[in-house]
Amino acid sequence: MSSLNLLSPTYQHGRKGSIASSTGGSAEGTEPDSHSISLQPLTPQHTGGDASTIVSPTQTHYDGASDVDGKTMRERSISRGQLDDDPKRARSGGKDGEGDELPEPHPAVDLAQDEGIDPGPFPVKPYQLASLVDPKNMELLQHLGGIRGLLKALGTNKKRGLSAKALGKTADASHHASFVPEADKDGRPGAGDEPGAGAGASQRHDRQSSDVPKLVVTGPGGEDGGGSPIDVPSTNDADDDEGPTYVADLTERRRVFGENTLPTRKTKSLLQLMWLALKDKILVLLSIAAVVSLALGFFQDFGTTRPEGEPPVDWVEGVAIIVAIAIVVLVGSVNDWQKERQFQSLNEKKDERGVKVIRNGIEMVIDIKEVVVGDVALVEPGEIVPCDGVFLSGHNVKCDESGATGESDAIKKLPYEDCLRGLEIEGAGGGDHLKHTDCFMISGSKVLEGYGSYVVIAVGTRSFNGRIMMALRGDAENTPLQIKLNNLAELIARLGSAAGLLLFTALMIRFFVQLGTHNPERSPSQWGMAFVQILIIAVTLIVVAVPEGLPLAVTLALAFATKRMTKENLLVRVLGSCETMANASVVCTDKTGTLTQNVMTVVAGSVGIHCKFVHRLEDNKARTNAGEEPGVRASAAAGRKHAEDFSIDQEQLNDTLSPAVRALFNEAIAVNSTAFEDTDPETEQKVFVGSKTETALLKFAKENGWADYKKTREAADIVQMIPFSSERKAMGVVVRLPGGRARLYLKGASEILTKNCTRHVVVERGSAADDVETRELDELSRDNISRTIIFYANQTLRTIALCYRDFESWPPAGVQAESEDEVPYADLAHELTLIAITGIEDPLRPGVREAVANCHKAGVTVKMCTGDNVLTARSIALQCGIYTAGGIIMEGPIFRQLERQDLLDVVPRLQVLARSSPDDKKLLVETLRSLGETVGVTGDGTNDGPALKTADVGFSMGIAGTEVAKEASDIILMDDNFASIVKAIMWGRCVNDAVRKFLQFQISTNVTAVLITFVSAVASVEEESVLSAVQLLWINIIMDTFAALALATDPATPQLLDRKPDKKTSPLFSVDMYKQIIGQSTYQTIITLIFHFLGSKILGHHHSDDSATQKHNDAIVQTLVFNIFVFAQIFNSVNSRRLDNRLNIFAGITKNYYFMCITLIEIAIQILIVFVGGAAFQVTRIGGREWGIALALGFVSIPLGALIRCVPNAPVERFLIKTRLLPNPQVLPTTRPEAEWNSAIQLVRDNLSTFSHVRGGRMRASSYVGKSRNAHLAPESRVALPSIMTMVPTLIASSIGAGWAPSSPSGLSNPAQFDPSKSSAALWEGKIQIHPDTKADDPIMQRWGPIARTT
């Protein structure tokens, strides 16, 4: 990623400003709005004839000559701001905000890659062009000769695109002309098979003029758009289309600059996936065991003489192991293959879209894959920019580049010439004229509004989007569970080999003793066979030790979980991520769209000055300030300063407001707006399109059931439109009233407009007045307004004031105006009447509070990383419960400058990272991982790719996520909801538990099988085992497979969230599991060996001289031993359903039909084997007494399990640590070389650190904790009284830093009562904040308390 300069320093702009709100995104201190400068309405005389150069999709027509400076409709101006890629600014460090130092810039595109490319007729090379946008580079564009030089170098024409010569006789121009994406085949004009796109083929709205032959857009210098229309030749568009570049055909362009496709990642074939699956260590171990077992089986069956009547079935064990391996490999690889195909098909559908271009003067829609460098492409609202380019001309084009670069504000696009003029003005000290403005189109960004054209300069792998996609391709790491299972496989191989070697040694000693004493007498060949038999039994022991069902259990658990997760809106791309999520200890989440709905909504407001309404008042009582006075109890209403204030639910507005006030409020919203209603192509639902603020107000009016905005807007006779500008932070419209009168409606930043108000509307409960009653604003009223604005601002609501003013005539008397639609704003915006103040925010998604609470309950820390400002981030974090006692809020510019030690101290406590760049997010993830945390990260933008790839588990958004984010992620949240992450944790824990349940069962079985094989082989003169090879096959293979399926299919339950996650270093086997394994295997070994050696006596069989009778009696004992062993396993599988010390092993068993069915099948097959198995299994039919014994002894496993659970863990843990079966917990640290604080704080810190890692009974029972509590400090480290006293100033300072202060009288100057945790201004200036509930003796207060107060 280092070569991509994914985030140039210019994007990390620091913004400081008021907490006030505005209608546009350029208002500082508020959440960025995607529409900072509104479209302009054409006056009636401008809407017809040839003068109208572009048809607006809205109900009202808008002129491109935005009155940005607020003086006249047609005054030419370049939008305020500064070009992000200003070279002067880059050199000076871009000090756009106080203390906002920028990191070292990343290296730009590696131009060395151009060396091996033959550019043919072109004077520029592909990576040279790509470096224009990464980072945005005006100097290089100037060096290339500006837009004219670039067009000449690429052999294209600004208004006609590629010439007929370039298109040649290829099919591209004609063949793809009628390409229409599937989503657009809607029967509208132009959507059929005729050449060209026609009107409306790929745009959201039908054009209102059917006789427009091609899209005509205006640039900033012409009559209406502020530029030259592209169909009018200008000095830059002279017909000098001569030269070799103009005749370079499409094939040549693709050769030099590449195709607009990314190389299809070589998806592994099914065979390759199978080969990868076979490389698993356990499967390698199994494969060796299978080969050895098969070879020895064939030797025993066909290389030796067998007793009469005994079938040659020893080879079956080897074959069965091979079958088990085949099942595991097939299930795992087919599952992976299907998931990959599913993801591919998802991406392919996304790729099927058309791009509108101009070729040879004809507008056409071509397949996105057919776009070449030099094409002139057209953009319209809602489109995702497919390639990098340089903007040519257009009308009010704004792009959201947050998904590509992390820039949260909308970026306005101006032609190169206008940007150059802006730079000249800036150079002459003319301010920041090009802030959030440039002429570069970045692939992956979204067009928010406007129409225009740009020339394509980079496609495919050379484009910004393509390079990131390629950089993110890589192989996944092993998950923590895979690592632990691999270690287990190695351990089992070593232990099994040791046991086999021990048995071989013991048997060989006896063999040599027998050979020396010639007892028994054997021929040389018999002695040879005896040796081979010893070898076979030793190898069999090793084979028995290998857990054949383990890989199948893991695979089945993952397959089952991922299938169920798909139904829960979780598409798992990487199977292993499922179980990794089980022990995620930290989730770093985005704010917008994940925690919030990404839909701005009116949540509170004040109509007039007394009527305070709140959306869902019952749930949000803190949203109203009616009845509240700082320092005054609510009950003392009589003594309140604003006694007339009252609160209502938003649903009661219609009953409270008079019809006249309702109509006025609705007109102020509907007429003074550029937003409109449209049908969402994906959901088929009606949605409002436009500025987030305006859509919120329109939605508010619609929810209240007020008159339809469209009819209200059409009924209004508009005289003059006042567009929004960031200087005045307001927009307005003047409508003509009957009798020659006129009315001005204004909306904008509340703290600005309310100062210009002299009156307010009067709202009384149940009023039915026909006219709107107004009153003068006195000091008390102004105090009420100020309180309301500050109250909303402290909740980080965007406050919008709606006002009006009536005029007796138009233009107003005494006003100098060139025409009636050009009255200066300053002459209008005073003596206003306040209608309402509305509080707008992006509300939380339903269920987010509960999801965050569940995460905390599950021991998962949630950290918010957002590019939004710190005030909004804090508000949302408080609302959803992320920001809690002991937590820190920090801004990206401060975070990235921390020293390594400070970083390690801060990161565990960091809960909100505001104004963060993608690099900050990646740094946070890397630091967390270095601290041993398992990290999950959510991301939706291209810029989130590095963090998603760095994390243990990456979550991308299925709806809002870019292709890059999805490619880099492991799990896709199909509903973009944070609550789905909790489901992922739950299912991950379900997978982990399934594997552990199976291990608890399987290892018990294997330990028993190894012990009885070892003991019986040593005790038997003929080296015969208790269980025959085929019986071991049934127990080891079939039983294990069934148990894997049964235990792997327990569904996830919310109870899984009631425990803390395991650390990466935690052992695979817990103390509870060890207790069960040791207890159950001991019991099974004892009863099996007792019945093996004493079975005849217990059953009352006496030794018979009749060989047939004796053989039958031995067969009954052998069958009984086999039966006891099998039923002990069946009942132990039920016992293994619990991993903790709780006794209810049947919890949820009725919901797992697999388990119940498989258990019944196992019992049925066992009965069948005994009755029918006969010779193959070396069993015989047994009577009821033997069946009763087998069932009773098998059932004992269940009460025995309950008894084992009652054994205290502490002594067992000490025993396991001594035997090295459990790792020894870290000893309490005594000194730290890098310690900077005095020893008293160090001691506290060390103790706190240890106790945070030790939980529950383990802490209380651990001896070393007890010792540490009672330990005396060494004399040299004993803390003297003066040393303790030195802490006092720090504690006091940190208390002040945490927000403590003496009470003070309430006042508007500081409604937060000097509490920096509640004061928006303090937080905005502070850059770091510690939660006010943090205890004064908390180490974080010692270190950061003073800084939190003073920075």
Least confident of 50-59, 492-501, 1089-1098: 50-59
Give the residue carrying structure tokens 């500008």. Answer: 725
For residues 1030-1042, give the mean pLDDT.
72
Cβ neighbours, 10 Å, residue 1153: 10
pLDDT at position 392 over 90 = yes
Average pLDDT over residues 1194-1207: 93
Mean per-residue pLDDT for 145-165?
90
Angle between helices 281-302 and 270-278 (to 10 degrees): 80
Region 682-690 average pLDDT = 77
pLDDT score recorded for residue 1079: 94
pLDDT band at residue 1029 under the 50/70/90 scheme: low
Q: Which carries the bigger pLDDT value, residue 1190 or residue 289?
A: 1190
pLDDT reading at 968 higher than 50: yes
204-219 as b/e: b if 16+ CB within 10 A = ebebeeeeeebbbbbb
Taking the CA atoms of 372, 375, 378 and 379 in sequence, report the sign of the dihedral they define.
positive
- Predicted local confidence at residue 188, as pLDDT: 34
Give the active site residues.
590
User: Tokens 């129409």 sit at which residue?
Assistant: 451
**DSSP-based three-state secondary structure for 742:** strand
Determine the pLDDT at residue 477. Answer: 63
Neighbouring C-beta atoms of residue 1086, cutoff 10 Å: 13
pLDDT score, position 525: 76
Q: State both tokens at 338.
A: 């299907």
φ, ψ (nearest 5 deg) of residue 1065: -90, -5
pLDDT band for position 389 (cuts 50, 70, 90): very high
Split at pLDDT 50, 70, 90, the class of 37 is: very low
The neighbouring-strand residues paired with 810 are none
Q: Report yes or no: 665 and 835 within 8 Å, Cβ to Cβ.
A: yes
Count of CB atoms situated within 10 Å of the CB of 1121: 25
pLDDT number for residue 240? 59
Structure tokens at 1146: 């049947």
| % of the chain at pLDDT higher than 70 | 72
Q: Which two tokens stand for residue 682?
A: 């994906």
Structure tokens at 374: 């030099």
Q: pLDDT per residue over 758-790, tens digit each? A: 999 998 876 767 788 899 999 999 999 999 998
Q: List the helix and strand counts (H, then E) for the chain.
A: 48, 30
- DSSP 8-state secondary structure symbol assigned to residue 311: -
220-234, 875-889, 1040-1054, range with greatest mean pLDDT: 875-889
**DSSP class of residue 1173?**
I
Most confident of 350-359, 518-527, 821-830: 821-830
Bridge partners of residue 391, in order along the sequence: 454
Between 1337 and 64, the more confident residue is: 1337
Quick one: average pLDDT of 614-637? 66
- 859 contact partners, CB below 8 Å, separation of at least 6: 585, 1059, 1060, 1061
Range of weakest confidence among 337-351, 455-469, 662-676, 1298-1312: 1298-1312
Phi-psi region of 150 (alpha: psi -120 to 50; beta: other; left: phi over 0): alpha
* Residues 397, 355: Cα–Cα separation, whole Å: 17
Residues 6+ apart with CB under 8 A from 915: 14, 866, 867, 868, 869, 870, 891, 892, 893
The whole-number pLDDT of residue 804 equals 95
Please tell me the predicted confidence (pLDDT) of residue 426: 76
Cα–Cα dist 1204/734, whole Å? 83
C-alpha–C-alpha distance, residues 378 and 216, integer Å: 10
The pLDDT tens digits of the residues spanning 293-318 come to 788 778 777 777 766 666 777 777 67
Lowest-confidence segment of 213-217, 1042-1046, 1191-1195 by average pLDDT: 213-217
pLDDT at 35 over 80: no
CA distances (Å), origin 1087, targets 454, 1025, 1189, 1228: 83, 15, 11, 44
- In the three-class reduction of DSSP (H, G, I as helix; E, B as strand; rest coil), residue 631 is classed as coil
**pLDDT at residue 51 greater than cutoff 60:** no
Joined together, the tokens standing for residue 599 give 């839909």
By three-state DSSP, how is residue 466 classified?
A: helix
Angle between helices 416-427 and 146-154 (to 10 degrees): 150
973 compared with 181, residue with greater pLDDT: 973
Q: Is 677's pLDDT higher than 50?
A: yes
DSSP 1053-1109: -GGGGGSPPPPTTS-SS-HHHHHHHHHHHHHHHHHHHHHHHHHHHHHTPPP-S-HHH
> In this model, does residue 1300 exceed pLDDT 90?
no
- Compute how many other C-beta atoms are within 10 angstroms of the C-beta atom of residue 923: 23
Return the pLDDT at 1270: 46
Question: Which pLDDT score is estimated for 1244?
Answer: 53
Say if residues 947 and 923 touch (Cβ distance below 8 Å): no
pLDDT at 665 over 90: yes
* Beta-carbon contacts of residue 1284 (< 8 Å; ≥ 6 apart): 1240
Task: Report which secondary-structure segment, H or E, holds 587.
Answer: strand 586-589
3-state secondary structure of 263: coil
Tens digits of per-residue pLDDT, 473-488? Answer: 655 566 777 778 878 8
Indicate the burial class of 575 (C-beta count within 10 angstroms; 0-12, 13-18, 19 or more). buried
For 1245, the enclosing helix (H) or strand (E) is helix 1239-1253
The answer on pLDDT for 1005 being more than 50 is yes
- For residues 1287 and 954, the model is more confident at 954
pTM of the model: 0.64
Write the DSSP symbol of residue 132: T
Arithmetic mean of pLDDT, 1091-1107: 84
Among 629-643, 811-825, 1042-1056, 1132-1146, name the one with the lowest average pLDDT: 629-643
For 655-659, 920-924, 1060-1064, which range has the lowest pLDDT when averaged over its residues? 1060-1064
Asked whether residue 931 carries a pLDDT value surpassing 70, the answer given is yes
Looking at the predicted structure, is the pLDDT value of residue 501 above 50?
yes
